[in-house]
Amino acid sequence: MERQRGAAECIVCQRRRDSGIWVLGMLICSQCEEKLVESKAADSGYDIYVDRLRVIWQHVFDAEAGASAKLMEGLWRQLNV
């Protein structure tokens, strides 16, 4: 997790920001980070944070699925030579 990298779109508020934390190549701006840290599951709007953070996990799962598909394709080619 990095602290600074440059301007990018925050995955939570979807605004272009200059500072925040980078998680798996995606920015969570400083303002949203602060709100996330202070939030509780019972707070209104908490489900929005969960939905936005799901984007990170979806990115991870998609990358893993792509890597697995390429691996299987390579193995299949080797078997059918």
Q: Which pLDDT tens digit goes with each residue over 47-63?
A: 999 998 888 888 877 77
Q: pLDDT-based confidence at 2, cuts 50/70/90?
A: very low
Gyration radius of the chain over CA positions: 18
Backbone phi, then psi, for 60, in 5-degree steps? -65, -50
Q: Is the pLDDT at 38 greater than 50, yes or no?
A: yes
> In angstroms, what CA-CA distances link 52 with 12, 16, 69, 72?
5, 15, 26, 31
Higher pLDDT, 72 or 46: 46
In this predicted structure, what is the pLDDT of residue 13? 94
- Above 80 in pLDDT, residue 81? no
Judge if pTM exceeds 0.95. Answer: no
